[in-house]
């Protein structure tokens, strides 16, 4: 039997880029920090602002990222998402990270179009029964599901990923 392939597909806004207010949800990461990030928008202008995140969540997510075989960045922010990811300290190894939308800029496509296009692109990575894919996006229905063999995690926009979500992701990918 071949070893299982573990693939983590991540949106980032409202998944690990968060609301600045500390959430009260059970299992939520309550610590907050921010980085100032400047990105180019679909109109060609630059936009700057604080990107809020939980350093503790990023540490925990980095463990899963390190163990996964491939990371698919599924953000409609495209190239700008890489800038935000690096700013908050998420370590995405170049050799195993694929940006599904490298040429998009923030605001270039709507969320429904992004979800459909990302679904099609992610589905291409589901090559056999020994491949497990978990796709995390705030646009999925809240909670856990499965679509076409892809395990989905729908995050709440305020807390983003919780400790329970990360435990579920680990279980789906590795056990």
* pLDDT tens per residue, range 87-144: 899 999 999 999 999 988 877 888 999 999 999 999 999 999 899 999 999 999 999 9
Total structural domains in the chain? 1
Rounded distance between C-alpha atoms, residue 97 and residue 16, angstroms: 17
Residue 14: what pLDDT? 85
Which residue, among 130, 104, 132, has the nearest Cα to 118 in the 3D structure? 104
Domain span at residue 44 reads 5-174
Question: Is the pLDDT assigned to residue 46 strictly greater than 90?
Answer: no
Average pLDDT on 5-27 reads 88
Tokens of 1: 């039997």
Rounded distance between C-alpha atoms, residue 18 and residue 51, angstroms: 8
Which residue, among 44, 97, 56, has the nearest Cα to 73 in the 3D structure? 97
1: Cβ–Cβ under 8 A, 6 or more apart, which residues?
130
CATH code of the domain covering residue 84: 3.40.50
For β-strands 131-137 and 5-10, DSSP reports them as parallel
The terminus-to-terminus CA distance of the chain in angstroms comes to: 15
> What SS3 state is found at 85?
helix
Q: What are the beta bridge partners of residue 134?
A: 8, 151
Residue 34: what pLDDT? 92
Q: What is the pTM of this model?
A: 0.91
């Amino acid at each position: 039997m071949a070893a299982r392939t573990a693939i983590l597909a991540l949106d980032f806004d409202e998944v690990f880029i968060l609301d600045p207010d500390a959430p009260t949800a059970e299992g939520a990461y309550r610590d907050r920090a921010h980085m100032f990030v400047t990105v180019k928008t679909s109109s060609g202008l630059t936009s700057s602002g604080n990107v809020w995140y939980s350093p503790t969540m990023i540490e925990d997510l980095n463990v899963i990222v390190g163990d996964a075989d491939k990371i698919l960045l599924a953000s409609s922010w495209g190239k700008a998402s890489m800038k935000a990811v690096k700013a908050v300290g998420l370590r995405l190894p170049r050799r195993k990270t694929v940006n599904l939308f490298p040429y998009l800029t923030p605001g270039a496509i709507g969320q429904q179009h992004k979800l459909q296009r990302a679904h099609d692109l992610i589905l291409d990575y589901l090559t056999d029964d020994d491949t497990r894919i978990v796709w995390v996006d705030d646009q999925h229905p809240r909670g856990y599901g499965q679509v076409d063999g892809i395990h989905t995690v729908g995050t709440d926009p305020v807390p983003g990923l919780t400790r329970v979500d990360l435990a579920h992701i680990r279980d789906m990918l590795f056990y």
